[in-house]
Amino acid sequence: MQTVEKRSRQIVGKLAAQAAARELLPSGLWFHDDIRNNFYYASYLYAAASDPDIRVRFDREGAKETATAVLERVLELQDRREGSETYGHWPLGLGDEPERAEPNTLPVELMGSLMLYFVERCGESLSQKLRKAFEEALKAVYDSRFYDRPLKEYGHHEAKYTAAKLLFGAFYDDQPLLEDGRRSLKDLLEYVQNRGMHEYGSQPWFWHWVQAFTCVRLLLDDPEITDDLNRMLDLLWRERSLHYIGGAWAGPHARGLAVDAPRDRNAAFDYLQYGDFRLPPELVRAEYAGFLYYEAPEDARIAAIDRLVPTEVKKKILKPQPNGSDRELHSYTYLTDAYAAGGMWEQSEEFDNEQHRWDITFPLSYELGNAVNQAYFIHPGKGYAEGDLRHESPYAKILPDRSVVMAMYPVPEGEDPTIVGVLPKGEWIREERALFGQVGGAYLAVYLRNEYELEETEDRLNVRSTGSHGAVVIEAASVEEAESLDADDLEGFAVLMRDRTPSFAPDGRSVSYRSLHSRRLELILAETGEAEAKINGKAAEFSDYVR
């Protein structure tokens, strides 16, 4: 396995190459959809061009000039209008005319702190013009007081505000601001220690937590603040390690982007920390992953990489509600070295209807190109679009248990009951109401209550199952697990699993299944519309779930 330093240079070099290969737009920028990408790519291009230990295939001086020009262009778009409510901010989407784009509150949250880091890292080699431009921009960020907000939601926005208070308080010797940041850090740390993270599995925003506090950790040397930062970062990486499998993020997600599902593509942070999988051919949403490194606790890293002994992760999550109360959610994930399975027992209203309830997750692999690494089904809900399986209806009832996920979709009359799903590429045996496949080092059995249509595309299998009372049962098994049951290949696995076909009730109100772990699983829909889950004849309980 490569050292952290080599992995860091590899990420920096790869992203610099991606930047160098892009043509600048007439505006002098690479991107108009998100101004932050221009800053990130230019940072990588400048850093790679300046580091003789990073092998590049572009002209170093020319690259530095390009990066410098892009950085200057980004800084020029900051709002410097005296008295403006968005003073010190940048626009987010730039449209056709960047100069006319309206300032947005989001870019400065993280980019402001990372600009401080860039100046500290590369400041001595910057041109006088660019360094002066950064000084003016950072002073405007400090004067904007965007971070001057109390803790209220205890989410990723406030994590970034807290980091900014600490960084800009120290950078400008603003002791009241620094003390405010110190208090915010302690309060935020206490909150997540005692209550857990209600932004469960939200990858892009989880990485904002990590980047913000790692940035502070690398730039500040106050012993008390450093101690709390270590505690916070240890907590974050322990949380990440609990759901880690070969570059992928197993388990349910409160929110996600298209780069998160049905394929884990946001892999740069994991690659730098764990390094147990091949770096993807192209990196997306890497932000400052190549620059910011904090070593996770050794026991957490070892546990994340070594999945030879299957692990059950049972999490109790307190989800704040609009009325000020808390709702208790229960997250279940079962992880092996070949696959992970699990989900959130309860449906939860999350931002933009982006809750990802359940899936079977496989380690990242590029033997099959950019094929997806997740298998799951949804009943489409608000925000759903063809090919984007991130928005589902509230009707699913699930039972996750070890290598199995059972799901029923009691869709009300008058609504389309069709369920849609996605399966990874691999070798598949297709039957009328079942599919048996091999994906890497694992087998997968998929049973559907109704008949289905299958479409194979470049990176996935799309499944569409019509009919009322839709339901699905999925079970995964490693090749070694299957061999222990005398299934030596995919056909042998299919023979084994045909004899275990679930029992779907004729009225669609229940399904029962005996798993490969010899556990009798039942999911029963009551007249009230609620579902009862039974494992070996007993109602599922959450007494052993912890925060």
Helix H or strand E segment including 211: helix 203-219
pLDDT at residue 120, as a whole number: 95
Cα-Cα-Cα-Cα torsion 14, 46, 52, 5, nearest 10 degrees, comes to -50
Cα-Cα-Cα-Cα torsion 224, 211, 357, 456, nearest 10 degrees, comes to -160
Strand stretches in 309-441, DSSP E:
311-320, 326-335, 340-344, 358-361, 374-378, 397-401, 404-409, 419-423, 427-430, 434-439
Alpha helices (H) along 22-155:
35-50, 60-76, 107-122, 128-144
> For residue 441, what is the DSSP state?
T
Residue 429's Cβ-count burial label (10 Å; 0-12, 13-18, 19+) is: middle
The vertex-170 CA angle with 165 and 174, nearest 5°, equals 80
Look at residues 389, 383, 393, 468 and name the one whose alpha carbon lies nearest to residue 421: 389
pLDDT at residue 512, as a whole number: 98
pLDDT at residue 537, as a whole number: 97
pTM to 2 decimal places: 0.97
List Cα–Cα distances, 35 to 99, 108, 256, in angstroms: 12, 10, 20
pLDDT at residue 527, as a whole number: 87
pLDDT at residue 79, as a whole number: 98
Name the residue with tokens 């080599």: 6
Look at residues 202, 188, 207 and name the one whose alpha carbon lies nearest to residue 294: 207
pLDDT at residue 370, as a whole number: 81
Q: How many CA atoms lie within 13 A of 444 on its CB side?
A: 31
pLDDT at residue 169, as a whole number: 98
**AA identity, residue 428:** W
List Cα–Cα distances, 103 to 71, 78, 82, 501, in angstroms: 17, 8, 14, 57
| CA distance linking residue 26 with residue 30, whole number of Å | 9
pLDDT in tens, 453-511: 999 999 999 999 999 999 999 999 999 999 999 999 999 999 999 999 999 999 999 99
Structure token pair of residue 108:
């400065």
| CA distance linking residue 174 with residue 298, whole number of Å | 36
Look at residues 161, 167, 159 and name the one whose alpha carbon lies nearest to residue 146: 161
pLDDT in tens, the chain (547 residues): 789 999 999 999 999 999 999 999 999 999 999 999 999 999 999 999 999 999 999 999 999 999 999 999 999 999 999 999 999 999 999 999 999 999 999 999 999 999 999 999 998 999 999 999 999 999 999 999 999 999 999 999 999 999 999 999 999 999 999 999 999 999 999 999 999 999 999 999 999 999 999 999 999 999 999 999 999 999 999 999 999 999 999 999 999 999 999 999 999 999 999 999 999 889 999 999 999 999 999 999 999 999 999 999 999 999 999 898 999 999 999 999 999 999 999 999 999 999 999 999 999 986 656 899 999 999 999 999 998 999 999 999 999 999 999 999 999 999 999 999 999 999 999 999 999 999 999 999 999 999 999 999 999 999 999 999 999 999 999 999 999 999 999 999 999 999 999 999 999 999 999 999 999 999 999 988 899 999 999 999 999 999 8
Under 8 Å between Cβ of 185 and 179: no
419 Cβ contact partners less than 8 Å away, ≥ 6 residues apart: 377, 378, 379, 409, 464, 465, 470, 472
| Mutual angle of helices 60-76 and 35-50, in 10-degree steps | 150
Structure token pair of residue 180:
């405010």
